[in-house]
Amino acid sequence: MRIRATVAAVSGALALSALAVPAAQADDGRSWTPDFGFTAPERPTSRLAATSDSDLKITKAVVNGGKAIVVGTTAPKKVTVAITATDDSGIADAGTILWIGSDLDSDDSFGFTQNEEAAKCKAVNATTSTCTLTVTVDPAWLINSDATTWKVGAAVLSNDGQIVQQDAFARTKLQRLSKITVNAAPEPVKKGKTITVTGKLSRANWETGTYKGYATQAVKLQFRKKTSSTYTTVKTIKSSSTGALKTTVKASVDGYWRYSFAGTSTTPTVTAAGDFVDVK
């Protein structure tokens, strides 16, 4: 595992918070500040509702357009969080946190906060707005077990000073970026002769900063004729203990061979570019 400095993985917005929240340290040594970044003095000390009679309500929170967040080994991934809320006075601001753990303040929690000091809120009508923020997920802070479902915390400030905060309003999925290769040989080949198709399925290992073979996974070998635009599945094989792929087929016509992986809950689908084989 890479050595990780014990510093807070936070964004600039948190430094401006009027009510500072102490940094939390997870059991694995990672520390962060679980705060929503509001500067408003009205920020409630208790979560969920600012007042029982408030009309302020969060209605939707969408991360990364509803798609899983896929992160490789080195490049931080910036994703958009869109929070929709309504209040009779209108919406002034919003904040967000992406996190994992049993409770926001527990020792097993860890997360990433918004990049902006304030959200960009666009009115849908007089009472409802959708506020957008970004969160940067940095693989330097991730461990492999983080490839799971994350909670989406959302907080909203109304124009009349009310605040509602929900620590786990929605869910999003974090996945380890996958890669796949293919090589069909020999080329050219005589019709009826055997072609060996090799390749490798790998995925990001956040703890080493490298790509490691993804073992014993079902992978489809697909083929498309030179004159066609459609691939068909020829057979399904399993990757080896090192992620290696290898199988044989008979050559029949010119065309492209590729491997395709459907993905798992922790790893996204990936398909290799077709490798052309000239059949004589």
Distance of CA 68 to the CA centre of its chain: 4
At 165, the pLDDT band (50, 70, 90 cuts) reads very high
Three-state DSSP class for residue 132: strand
Q: Is the pLDDT of residue 148 over 70?
A: yes
- 53 in Cβ contact with 110 (< 8 Å): no
Query: Which pLDDT does position 237 carry in this prediction?
Result: 98
Q: Is the pLDDT of residue 60 over 70?
A: yes
Query: Which pLDDT does position 26 carry in this prediction?
Result: 65
pLDDT (tens digit per residue) in 205-243:
999 999 999 999 999 999 999 999 999 999 999 999 999
CB atoms under 10 Å from CB of 135, counted, come to: 24
Closest CA to 238 of 221, 223, 257, 219: 219
Q: Is the pLDDT of residue 13 over 60?
A: no
Q: Is the pLDDT of residue 64 over 50?
A: yes
Q: Is the pLDDT of residue 1 over 90?
A: no
pTM: 0.86
- Report residue 223 as tokens: 């083929």
At 112, the pLDDT band (50, 70, 90 cuts) reads very high
